[in-house]
Structure 1
Amino acid sequence: MGRLGNSLCAMALSLFAASSGNAATLVEPTLHLKPQSGEGGGRVALTLDACGGKTDTRILSALVDNRIPATIFVTGIWLKRNAAAVEIMRAHPDLFELENHGGRHIPAVDTPRKIYGISSAGSPDAVQAEVESGAAALASAGGPAPKWFRGATAEYSPSAIAMIRKLGFKIAGFSVNGDGGSLLGAKETARRIGAAKDGDVIIAHINQPTHAAGGGVVQGLLALKQKGMTFVRLDDADGIGNDGTTD
């Protein structure tokens, strides 16, 4: 092989490596609250994803009965299927903050790939459509315009993060994965949530009523309340995210 062949070969390998590196670069942002000063058990933010499917009334009822505030990230799909749950949330504006989880629950990644088996948006235009359609669905359901966005799978390409921020949304990461995508058992879910510390942002799911994890979510939240922990919504606290997600 001559010099030209060697050069072309090296260029191809370089391009392949660059494209592979870009494909592998995804961000799973964290989010913390500013630590609380003074006495008390501390503050945590409970965030619940409503991706699709139904409503876990075990969790919703526990939040209302125990006056536990939560930020609910809803998709356009979930909003259409769960009007009764939305009505309950709207009836308790002091407890529930509804935020943007996208129109169709598509990962906010602007290159084609799969994350946890879910096909990504695949292009900048598709990411923008997912974000804007989620906001439009919330507007149609009534209530305040969303300020926060959390994409499906909570993983992003860095360029998608920049785009979402330009659209005016903060991106909600987390610091405690409470239910492992609603796939954990009740005991482990309760342990994870119950171990949350001052400043933590918990992620769990409110759209899987048949999963054992939902019972664990309730147990963990009640354990935190028993410890004297204060629950806040994202709108009511200063959240600090990494990777340019909040600043």
Structure 2
Amino acid sequence: MNRFLLTSVFLAAAVPAAYATGQATQPAGWPPLPPKEAVSNVKLVEPHLHVNRAGKGAPRIALTFDACMGKTDPRILSTLVDQRIPATIFVTARWLRTNPDALAVFLAHPELFELENHGQNHIPAVDIPTKVYGIAAAGSPQAVGQEVKGGADAMLAAGIPQPRWFRGATAKYSLSAIAQIRGMGYRIAGYSVNGDSGSLLPAKMVEKQYASAKDGDVIISHINQPTHAAGEGVAASILALKAKGVQFVRLEDIPEQGDDDTTN
């Protein structure tokens, strides 16, 4: 499965199918759906991110997980804790409201988990009225700012330190929104390996994706789908990478380089 198809599946998983086709009622707190004729020519980018390579010796890989909404996958969380695997977790305000027990585990292990900002309502950080894979974008600079600030405010209220990274829903951005978010003091977290395509891949395909990771890669997966087979593959893949001697790092641990001025 090529990277474009994997990304498409990942993005399609972000919202219910009826909403993605514009036939559902807009969820409370989300921006209004743009009219069908509001097609924009704005350039959207999907930045890559790599950490500095280790070079000689054990390869260096950064595991990142999105906690978009819903619940928490205990298969992944227990593997990270039991195996002492560091990871960067991107949380939304929506996820924080319904997962106090998982948050307590993250906060109890600051040596393992770096918690970062995934936004307030899990909407794309694009500052004009448009859709990204059927999902209504924030639609204005003000709404982009609220998505970022609202996520950070919820994190601080939950006892999480001030976030320094932001990853928006769908992982696509307008260049002007990137500049705005950078101006708010954030680096923007892309990725280089799509580990689970929005938690939709079967376990064996997840394992293949993880096995493809190389020195310096940043893997994105999801930790909020406990009923999906993908979580089984993520847990197994973490163990397989550890057995190969991979050096796991968090984004805060090591210098990194992102496309589209997301980290410079």
Residue aligning to 2:125: 108
Shift of 1:23: 2.9
Shift of 1:88: 0.4
**Contact preservation (8 Å) 1:54, 1:78:** yes
Post-superposition CA distance 1:110-160 (Å, at most 9, x none) = 111222322100111000000000110110111321000000010001100
Structure 1 counterpart SS, 2:197: coil
**Contact preservation (8 Å) 1:194, 1:221:** no
Normalised to the residue count of structure 2, the TM-score between the two structures is: 0.84
Which of 16, 36, 54 aligns to 1:36? It is 54
Greater fraction helix: 1
**Contact preservation (8 Å) 2:40, 2:130:** no
Shift of 1:224: 0.7
**Contact preservation (8 Å) 2:55, 2:215:** no
Q: Please identify the structure whose Cα radius of gyration is greater.
A: 1
Distance in 2 (CA, whole Å) between partners of 1:84 and 1:157 is: 35
Letter of the structure 1 residue corresponding to residue 183 of structure 2: K
Shift of 1:22: 5.2
Distance in 1 (CA, whole Å) between partners of 2:257 and 2:40 is: 26
Distance in 2 (CA, whole Å) between partners of 1:233 and 1:124 is: 30
Distance in 1 (CA, whole Å) between partners of 2:175 and 2:39 is: 13
Shift of 1:21: 9.0
Which of 178, 195, 199 aligns to 2:216? It is 199
Letter of the structure 2 residue corresponding to residue 35 of structure 1: R
Coordinate RMSD, CA, aligned: 1.4
Identity %: 61
Which of 68, 72, 95 aligns to 2:89? It is 72
Shift of 1:194: 2.1
Moved over 2 A (4+): 20-24
Residue aligning to 1:226: 243
How do 1:71-150 and structure 2 match up within 5 A?
A: 71-150=88-167
Question: Which structure 2 residue ranges, 5 or more long, are not aligned?
Answer: 1-37
Distance in 2 (CA, whole Å) between partners of 1:116 and 1:70 is: 28
Distance in 1 (CA, whole Å) between partners of 2:128 and 2:217 is: 31
Question: Which structure 1 residue ranges, 5 or more long, are not aligned?
Answer: 1-19
Letter of the structure 1 residue corresponding to residue 63 of structure 2: L
Residue aligning to 1:16: none
Residue aligning to 1:177: 194
Aligned residues: 228
Distance in 2 (CA, whole Å) between partners of 1:23 and 1:125 is: 20
**Contact preservation (8 Å) 1:100, 1:149:** yes
**Contact preservation (8 Å) 1:53, 1:81:** yes
Residue aligning to 2:11: none
**Contact preservation (8 Å) 2:118, 2:166:** yes
